[in-house]
Amino acid sequence: MTHSLSLHDITKDYGQGPVLSGISLDIQPGETVAVMGPSGSGKSTLLHCMSGVLTPTDGAVFFGETNIAQLSDAARSRLRLQHFGFVFQDGQLLPELTNVDNVALPAMLTGSSRGAARKRAQALLDQLGLGGLAMRRPGDVSGGQAQRVAIARALAAEPSIVFADEPTGALDQSTGHEVIQMLTTIVRQSGASLVMVTHDPKVADWMERRVEIRDGLVHDDRLVGGVRTGAPAAAQGGAR
């Protein structure tokens, strides 16, 4: 099921003045969007409001016909599990589970059998070049490999939208770029949309659209083309 995500004039105030001061955005199915802006400008807050992790102080967040800002906590959690995937900076994998079980878990939580969930998890790990590491634990693989496990997990329940908050912030640049290339490629293959907070203009070049947040508002919102192959921008021959 694919729906657009539509933010109507959302604000967020944690109690010390507004962090978001009225943001309206539409994310179309299959679109890839980079969210940029200075540190502290509210990028994570925006991502959390979009994805139903936080409720905005005011405004509406429509996923299809559903205003997720008005759902109960339980209904919002259920919607997140069924329709959204998440990749965080440090993976947040469960250290006591094997990689394949980490990936299988979200699908099992939405009702898949363990067998079916593990089969899909293994296929995703294979696709990300990690087939041989399925039975290892996250602590026994490199940081870049662990982020790829986290990417597989984000896609396991076949989400409509994948949200990523500086997913390579803890990796060196070249490993980070490899991970982003895999993330954008696999998300595009799945047909999901991708909303990614990033500081890295090169990473933003791989996305079709760039939204810049400043002073709690959308400062700039433009289509930048994106590199549909997921290949590094330099390989496309374009000076950027």
Binding site for Mg ion (CB under 5 A): 43-44
Instruction: Report the residue closest to Mg ion, judged by CB.
Output: 44
Q: Report what 184 binds from ligand ADP, Mg ion, none; CB cut-off 5-8 Å by kind.
A: none
Q: Which of 21, 27, 63 is nearest to 45 (CA)?
A: 21
Q: Report what 39 binds from ligand ADP, Mg ion, none; CB cut-off 5-8 Å by kind.
A: ligand ADP
The residue from 1, 39, 72, 239 that contacts ligand ADP (CB under 6 A) is 39
Q: Closest distance between ligand ADP and the C-beta of residue 170, in Å?
A: 15
Q: Toward ligand ADP, which CB reaches closer, 157 or 171?
A: 171
Q: What is d(CA 233, CA 240) in angstroms, rounded to the nearest whole number?
A: 8
Q: Closest distance between ligand ADP and the C-beta of residue 126, in Å?
A: 33
Q: Which amino acid is at 89?
A: Q
Q: What are phi and psi of 121, to 5 degrees?
A: -60, -45
Q: Report what 37 binds from ligand ADP, Mg ion, none; CB cut-off 5-8 Å by kind.
A: ligand ADP
Stretch that binds ligand ADP, among 37-45, 86-94, 96-104, 122-130 (CB under 6 A): 37-45
- CB-count burial class (<10 Å; 0-12, 13-18, 19+) for 110: middle
Q: Toward Mg ion, which CB reaches closer, 34 or 134?
A: 34
Q: Closest distance between ligand ADP and the C-beta of residue 78, in Å?
A: 23
Report CA torsion sign: 194, 195, 201, 203: negative
Contact 136, 154 (CB under 8 A): no
Please give the order of strands across the beta sheet that includes 5-13: 18-27, 5-13, 58-63, 66-67
- Which residues would be at the binding site for ligand ADP (CB under 6 A)? 14, 19, 37, 39-45
